[in-house]
Structure 1
Amino acid sequence: VKMGVQLIALRCSGYNNINIKYAKDKIKIVRVPAYSPSAIAEYTIALLLTLNRKINKAYIRTREGNFSLEGLLGFNLEHKTIGIIGTGRIAKILIRILKGFNMNIIAYDKYPDNKVSQELGFEYVSLDTLYRISDIISLNCPLTPETKYMINRSSMNLMKDGVTIINTGRGALIDSVDLVEALKDHKVGAAALDVYEEESEYFFEDFSNDIVEDDILARLLSFNNVLITSHQAFFTEEAVKEIAKVTLNNIAFFNKDEIQNEVFYTCDDNNCYIKD
């Protein structure tokens, strides 16, 4: 504000990296709400298939002349139960894809869309029920004070032994320290993470000649049943073009009566809550 900033233009859909309580009534915030939900939904499937069928391991192994199947056993997705947390644009596309695998799909959302659940053929359940009966859990919800660390030791204790967790949402949806412990004692069977709560220190940069000083990230990278990618689920030609187009359009509308894709919110003494 002191430097005359009137608008913050986010090139993403998430807004958890903005102090919206400070910005209230001072700075307008705009975002790109849906640059390519298909890209992220498709990538979620890619992570699930790669993690389950150990495709990444098989690729490396065969390039070295090792054609053994030892350690590559996966499981059929057909008839397995997958729990989707958050049923926004991305999740709806994800569910359509998952129907092709003949999976049992359940979901949790604070604001359920019962019309869509009937159209797509999935069932809304309570969060505890989703934890208890899902073979696979996919996180597709925003990061809010309410959802921060929603995947923690307490919630993981409710889950099936050997559950698979996929996170293409936000890193801090998962308590990474608790995840490490759950992986060590085999409560969590496998995890695929395209996001990490401290990713800003590492993701999008090349540290191949350095030591990863984040002990939790280093520990996660050491597990052979954990797949980590550097926040690339969105990264398609179509998405990058859409991000640029919408961002520039948002800025162009700044001096007009109606600002496109503005983030609306209300604040109380403790937190701010998004209204859009």
Structure 2
Amino acid sequence: MKIVFFSAKPYDRDFFESCNEHYDFELEFWETHLGPHIADAIKPGTDAVCVFVNDKLTAEVIAVLAEKGVKIIALRCAGFNNVDLEAAKQYGIRVCRVPAYSPQAVAEHAVAMLLTLNRKTHKAYNRIREQNFSLSGLMGFNLFGKTVGVIGTGKIGAAFCKIMLGFGCKVLAYDPFENEQVRNFGVKYLPFHEVIKDADIVSLHCPLTPDNHHLISAASLSSMKKGVTLINTSRGGLIHTREVIDALKTGQVAALGIDVYEQEEKLFFKDLSTSIIGDDDIQRLISFPNVLVTGHQAFFTQEALTEIAESTLATVKALLTGDGVDEAAVLV
């Protein structure tokens, strides 16, 4: 049974090949992302394609996959906004994902971004390397006693809530599907507009859907406290980039940490250090001293990559054999 991987990096090969010792799939790794430009190159006999966040599984691509005899689209991530599920259903292709992989990895990265922006440790590091020991411009604030608004309380959001409660924060949350476990932590659920109105810090932990595209826009930003800190480790499309830039310019947003970006497929996971980047929005964001950008790094821990490989291969095998499928991992 053959699986072709797209958007594959050396670490993907390392973790999947190690895990595959227990499954004995034929694995083939392609560095290119999956889209209309490459779909036709997939050879007949491929049972599954394994894709990541910036691969584009449009109806056009899925039609080609079906023609090639591909039976499974396996996402090695939790989000699935880049897959046309209706087209997959129409062509009889199963779609699976990794519903939960080390939620602590993403939650801890969100906290790391928050602490870095607040206490300016990245700036302090560079100063000390230049033998500048001045504290001017490095002042932060105590997290203790601050109100944190968490949007989305699935496994990652729940892990983030627990960490922030440990700092002594008051945690408010919004999720259309409230999590009783999170409520038992001491988190208070409120409507979205009330959470963002009362929060000193807003952290996004929800999937991207048509209903919440540009959830953070000029309208919602104007409802937030002036000087709010905003963190996004979920999906770039949750934030209207240019309207957040406007809010940074006025001071409505005091600090922004993003591990995801609306147009990241053209940038992230690539070394562009010798290139001219034509994306004016990302260049503007990078120029702000109160903005921290990481390149979709939040998931990137040994534990998470191990769980992603194990979960993906186990689900693909179960779908191909019809034995012991984890329904939480299956989308179509």
TM-score, normalising length from structure 2?
A: 0.77
Task: Work out the number of aligned pairs and report it.
Answer: 263
> 1:188 pairs with 253, 257, 266, which one?
253
Aligned to 1:5: 70
Aligned to 2:147: 81
Distance 2:72 2:143 in 1: 45
Residue by residue over 1:96-147, the C-alpha shift from the partner in whole angstroms, topping out at 9 and shown as x without a partner, is 111111101000001112x324420010001010111100000000000011
Q: In the TM superposition, what is the alpha-carbon distance from 1:225 to its structure 2 partner? A: 0.3
SS in 2 for 1:24: helix
Q: Residues 222-233 of structure 1: matches in 2 within 5 Å?
A: 222-233=287-298
Residue by residue over 1:193-218, the C-alpha shift from the partner in whole angstroms, topping out at 9 and shown as x without a partner, is 00001111111111111122111011
> 2:237 pairs with 172, 184, 205, which one?
172
Instruction: Check conservation: 2:103, 2:156, Cα contact below 8 A.
Output: yes
SS in 2 for 1:83: strand
Distance 2:122 2:276 in 1: 23
- RMSD between superposed Cα atoms in Å: 1.1
Task: Name stretches of at least 5 consecutive residues in structure 1 with no aligned partner.
Answer: 265-276
Distance 2:186 2:237 in 1: 30
Give the counterpart letter for 1:30 in structure 2.
C
Aligned to 1:70: 136
SS in 2 for 1:189: strand
Instruction: Check conservation: 2:153, 2:182, Cα contact below 8 A.
Output: no
Aligned to 2:201: 136
Give the counterpart letter for 1:65 in structure 2.
Q
Aligned to 1:209: 274
Does residue 193 of structure 2 align to residue 125 of structure 1?
no
Aligned to 1:262: 330
Q: In the TM superposition, what is the alpha-carbon distance from 1:95 to its structure 2 partner? A: 1.2
> 2:166 pairs with 66, 87, 100, which one?
100
Give the counterpart letter for 2:111 in structure 1.
I
Distance 1:5 1:174 in 2: 34
TM-score, normalising length from structure 1?
A: 0.93
Distance 1:130 1:194 in 2: 22
SS in 1 for 2:68: coil
Distance 2:311 2:216 in 1: 32
Aligned to 2:123: 57
Instruction: Check conservation: 1:47, 1:166, Cα contact below 8 A.
Output: yes
Task: Call closer, same or farther: CA 1:216–1:65 in 2, change over 3 Å.
Answer: same
Q: Using the TM superposition, name which of 158-167 and 12-21 deviates more.
A: 12-21
Distance 1:82 1:182 in 2: 19
> 1:243 pairs with 308, 321, 326, which one?
308
Q: In the TM superposition, what is the alpha-carbon distance from 1:23 to its structure 2 partner? A: 1.5
Instruction: Check conservation: 1:117, 1:124, Cα contact below 8 A.
Output: no
Q: In the TM superposition, what is the alpha-carbon distance from 1:256 to its structure 2 partner? A: 2.9
Q: In the TM superposition, what is the alpha-carbon distance from 1:78 to its structure 2 partner? A: 0.8
Aligned to 1:198: 263
Q: In the TM superposition, what is the alpha-carbon distance from 1:25 to its structure 2 partner? A: 3.5
Distance 1:35 1:247 in 2: 10
Does residue 104 of structure 2 align to residue 38 of structure 1?
yes
Distance 1:215 1:2 in 2: 39
Instruction: Check conservation: 1:148, 1:173, Cα contact below 8 A.
Output: yes
Instruction: Check conservation: 1:80, 1:104, Cα contact below 8 A.
Output: yes
Structure with larger Rg: 2
Give the counterpart letter for 1:89 in structure 2.
K
Give the counterpart letter for 1:153 in structure 2.
A
Give the counterpart letter for 2:81 in structure 1.
N
Distance 2:237 2:182 in 1: 27
- Of all paired residues, the percent bearing the same amino acid is 47
Distance 1:143 1:191 in 2: 19
Distance 2:111 2:320 in 1: 41
Instruction: Check conservation: 1:142, 1:169, Cα contact below 8 A.
Output: yes
Distance 1:62 1:49 in 2: 18
